[in-house]
Amino acid sequence: MNQESPSIPDAELAQQAQAGSFAAFEELIYRYEHRVHAFVTQFCRNATDAREVTQETFVKASQSMAQFDARREFAPWLFTIARRKWIDRQRSAPPTAEGAMPEAVEEINPAELLAQQEDRQQLWQLARQSLTVNQFQALWLRYAEDMEVRQIAQVLGKTRVHVKVLLFRARQILGQQLNPAPTLAQAMPTAKINLGDYNKVSSAKTS
């Protein structure tokens, strides 16, 4: 199905999966497994947790397909499940030091990464160390997943205004870390950061 399915929208695949097509659900797994794994890897304690949360996400999605509203977007729905499964895992795990973020899972074969990818990874590592969980998740969904504010709000269970504030604060903190300020403008495009969005949110906050 993968060779012919790129033109099939997610919503149509979801409808087919609701009607009992396992091939359609397999295609959704093919499209999103790596993306969901990359998302939860940023917060899970180790590679095993990340893999299991990813698996649990798709098991839950399979069980809940009948409740999916095909008039809505599939990606925010799926990432909402992934985030809830990560929260469930955090609640059942032994507590870590207060305020500490879990170590990120190391990239496989780092020698094969291009310089641009390495720079981007360093930027996300800095973000992980500097931001709160909600700030980092908002930033990841915005720039790694290219989600709109309304989609991020759905995933995080926040209002759009709250998401805009999270993004504003995240950019502000990273701007302070990447000193002098011009470095931010040079570094952010590798992570698909649009400084125009930053200026809009900044203007809205000061008005």
Lowest mean pLDDT among 61-70, 139-148, 153-162, 176-185: 176-185
Residue 5: the pLDDT is: 53
The packing angle between helices 74-92 and 22-41, to 10°, is 50
Residue ranges making up the domain that contains 138 = 107-207
How far apart are the C-alpha atoms of 88 and 7, rounded to whole Å? Answer: 35
Domain boundary among 59, 80, 106: 106
Task: Please tell me the pTM assigned to this model.
Answer: 0.67
Tell me the pLDDT tens digit for each residue of 163-200: 999 999 999 888 888 765 444 444 544 444 444 444 44
Count of domains for the chain: 2
Q: Is 102 helix (H, G, I), strand (E, B) or coil?
A: coil
Domain-located, residue 1: no
The answer to whether 145 and 136 have CB atoms below 8 angstroms apart is no
Q: Is 2 inside any structural domain?
A: no
Q: Are residues 161 and 186 in the same domain?
A: yes
CB 139 within 8 A of CB 163: no
In-domain check, residue 114? yes
Same domain, yes or no, for 206 and 114?
Answer: yes
> Do 187 and 123 touch, CB atoms closer than 8 A?
yes
The better pLDDT of the pair 10, 116 is held by 10
